[in-house]
Amino acid sequence: MIIVMEPAADEEQIQKVAQKLKSHNFKIVFNRGEVMTVLAAIGDKRLVDPASLASMEGVREVKLIQEPFKLSGRESKADDTVIDLGNGVLIGGKNPSVVMAGPCSVERDIEGLLKVAYTAKDAGAQVLRGGAFKPRTSPYDFQGMEEEGLKYLAEARKQTGLLIATEIMDTPEIDLVASYADILQVGARNMQNYKLLKALGRTNKPVILKRGPAASIREFLLAAEYVIYAGNPNVILCERGVKGFDSHYTRNILDIASIPVIKKYSHLPVIVDPSHATGRRYLIEPMSKSALAAGADGLMIEVHHDPENASSDGAQSLTTDQFKSLMFKLNKLGKLLNDLSESDVEAVPG
């Protein structure tokens, strides 16, 4: 249920409404906008009569939430969620796109990682992303350096000032990974690991939630719902492609349309990972451009100092030079898109 308060409603009136709902075991999430406060109340709606709530002092309107994703949906929060990732980097809303770049896996070569980190920083990326715990399809493939890898990432952050994002594969690792990382990533294979999602909801770090390889948009938003419902509103959705029938030319199918769809139904920031979506280096640039043009709030791109010898995902990793050139172009594109969104109201003929 959504309770929209009058702009003039005072705190006492807001709390009275909240108390009434809480007494029926509703969970309340307050969205305090510039003009008015909106309460999203999750619970058994048979226990409270919407008409009695609507007649309370300070209440403007009571609405029932139609979509199953109650907290991640726009029905409960009309304004875009803006997340502070740290270092003053904001993602979502009208903020410039955030770029997260780095090798697929952190490898036993800290010089290589530092080269990528310095390149990313100089080119304008805000986040260094690299996996220390790797979810690999085969148990015989490189599984990641675990805590040692987290230490390398921490060193790169110390030297470059970049924020660190890394994957968390299992609930018992949360404290360890969170003690090193600024942003926690849930991989595509874990999108429906509900215990992990609930546990991440009890942390206070931003969570990047990747879309499952065969997840519908609705399932994706419901997975985000788990994290928010458990207490952490800072979820960044990551579109990374879904499984298709033709893996000969692309690893997955990048669902570009999911960006405006998610933006329509959800207030959460959305980023795109063109690397896992395509699996091919030459496709990173066109897909990055498409993602920004479709409204993505950021990109996650694999970059390696020596892709041919990477321990994982070399074929889709950009070289440091390719990344620099890509960032130069994306910067220009970002300005064009910004001009377009600022002027499109006046530019419409008639």
Binding site for ligand PEP (CB under 6 A): 104, 131, 135, 187-189, 210, 240, 273, 276
By the rule CB under 5 A, 150 interacts with Mn ion: no
Single out the residue of 72, 161, 125, 116 nearest to residue 299, CA to CA.
Answer: 125
Rounded to whole angstroms, the Cα distance separating 213 from 221 reads: 14
Shortest CB 166 distance to ligand PEP, Å: 9
Single out the residue of 288, 287, 318, 286 nearest to residue 304, CA to CA.
Answer: 318
| Residue 271, beta-bridge partner list | 238, 298
> Which residues in 62-81 are b (16+ Cβ under 10 Å) and which e?
beebebebbbbbbbbbeebb
Report the partner that residue 187 touches, choosing among Mn ion, ligand PEP, none (CB closer than 5 to 8 A by kind): ligand PEP
Which is nearer to ligand PEP, 14 or 259 (by Cβ)? 259
Which is nearer to Mn ion, 43 or 314 (by Cβ)? 314
Shortest CB 240 distance to ligand PEP, Å: 4
Rounded to whole angstroms, the Cα distance separating 320 from 304 reads: 7
Tokens of 268: 């959460």
Shortest CB 104 distance to ligand PEP, Å: 5
DSSP assignment of 55-74 equals TSTTEEEEE---SS--SSBT
3-state secondary structure of 164: strand
x/- contact string, 89-128, with Mn ion (CB under 5 A)? Answer: ---------------x------------------------
Which is nearer to Mn ion, 9 or 301 (by Cβ)? 301
Which is nearer to ligand PEP, 189 or 280 (by Cβ)? 189
x/- contact string, 306-345, with Mn ion (CB under 5 A)? Answer: -------x--------------------------------
Shortest CB 167 distance to ligand PEP, Å: 6
Which is nearer to ligand PEP, 187 or 269 (by Cβ)? 187
User: What distances in angstroms separate CA 102 from CA 27, 173, 217, 298, one per listed residue?
Assistant: 39, 21, 27, 14
Which is nearer to ligand PEP, 165 or 326 (by Cβ)? 165
